[in-house]
Amino acid sequence: MSLPTTLPDQSGRTWLVTGATNGLGREVARAAAGVGARVLITARDAARGEWTRREIGAASVIDVDLASQASVREAAARVEEPIDVLIDNAGTITARRVESIDGHELVFATNVLGPFALTNRLVDRLRGRIVIVGSGAHKRSRIDFTDPHFRRRRWSVAAAYGQSKLADMLWALALQQKLTDRHHPATVQLAHPGWALTNLQNATGHARLDDAITAACRPFAQPADTAAASILVAATADLPPVSYIGPGGLGGLRGAPAHASRSPAAMDRSLAAAVWRLAAEETGTDL
């Protein structure tokens, strides 16, 4: 199925984009603003958020640290207007196991629990499309429901990031079911950027090594504005609920947006229900 690559006019519509101060989020916010959307962006660093707001023409900045449930609660309370498109894009990778202020493993806290709670707290203001950004990394991963925060088992970058992205894929399934049961007007879509040249790969903690990794990736990875296309299609195209959009070429790493494949685990509704229960318990939010 051919997918549109031109953004429709978004005048009169409001987008909220998380993680919009760099990389994919910034390109998504810039593109939405460019076709008339009123764009709200989130930022962990207020100064950087304000700089980005001026650069892309966003309407306002919402200060939030997605790894802190208190910060998420306060941020959601500051959003008073209806949201037509919510882009749950913000994510992180760490070089070692780190805990959030709430005692959660930081990758899981930022990539899953924060977006989960923010979306739940905004649900009564949502009226259009929710896009959750996944990753091909989910295909090689599993979720350990007995130890999701790696308190007992061995932590690794691949295990932590992959688990978080499989959880995002399953959260999307569960969220759509919850919205359908409530006859809520919003629908959920999934997207992944493929191999994107963003700051996400700069997680070693060593500037020289990060620079070397970026230089090695540059000839092969898509620039952020190209990689953001899949997210924009997921946000605006006429799609069945919980479609998964990603680059259509070179093993899903590059190319124009297309319907992407996902692992059997990512379509398991019993696992989706288990992810929902876990996230609801950890965040104290539910629908």
Taking the C-alpha atoms of residue 236 and residue 240, their distance in angstroms, rounded to an integer, is: 12
**Which residues of the chain are modeled with pLDDT < 50?**
197, 201-202, 204, 206-207, 209-219
Q: Write down the pLDDT at residue 248.
A: 81
- Based on the residue annotation, tell me whether 161 is a catalytic residue of this protein: yes
pLDDT at 212: 40
Contact at 8 Å (CB) between 69 and 117?
yes
Convert the chain into a string of H (helix), E (strand) and C (coil).
CCCCCCCCCCCCCEEEECCCCCHHHHHHHHHHHHCCCEEEEEECCHHHHHHHHHHHCCCEEEECCCCCHHHHHHHHHHCCCCEEEEEECCCCCCCCCCECCCCCEHHHHHHHHHHHHHHHHHHHHEEEEEEEECCHHHHHCCCCCCCCCCCCCCCCHHHHHHHHHHHHHHHHHHHHHHHHHCCCCCEEEEECCCCEECHHHCCCCCHHHHHHHHHHHCCCCEEHHHHCHHHHHHHHCCCCCCCEEEEEEHHHCEEEEEECCCCHHHHCHHHHHHHHHHHHHHHCCCC
In the chain, where are the structural domains located?
14-283
Q: How far apart are CA 54 and CA 34, in angstroms?
A: 13
Q: What is the pLDDT of residue 220?
A: 54
| Residue in 62, 68, 54 with CA at minimum distance from that of residue 17 | 62
Amino acid, res. 185: P
- Given this model, what pLDDT does residue 205 score? 54
CA 94 and chain centroid, separation: 16
CB atoms within 10 A of CB 147: 11
Taking the CA atoms of the chain, what radius of gyration do you get in angstroms?
Answer: 17
Pick the CATH number of 14-283 from 3.30.230.70, 3.40.1390.30, 3.40.140.10, 3.40.50.720: 3.40.50.720
CB 83 within 8 A of CB 125: yes
Q: Which residue has the tokens 């930081």?
A: 106
Tell me which residue of 161, 230, 225 sits closest to 192, measured CA to CA. Answer: 230
pTM, to two decimals: 0.91
Among residues 108, 116, 150, 161, which one is catalytic?
161
φ, ψ dihedrals at 14, nearest 5°: -115, 130
The structure tokens 């130890």 sit at 147
Closest listed residue to residue 4, CA positions, set 234, 194, 222: 234
Q: For the segment 208-261, what is each residue's pLDDT rounded down to a tens digit?
A: 544 444 444 444 557 878 889 999 999 999 999 999 999 988 766 778 899 999
Contacts of 168 (CB under 8 A, 6+ apart): 88, 111, 112, 115, 132, 133, 134, 135, 138, 190
Other beta carbons less than 10 A from residue 94's beta carbon: 16
Q: What is the pLDDT of residue 214?
A: 42
- Name residue 264's amino acid: P
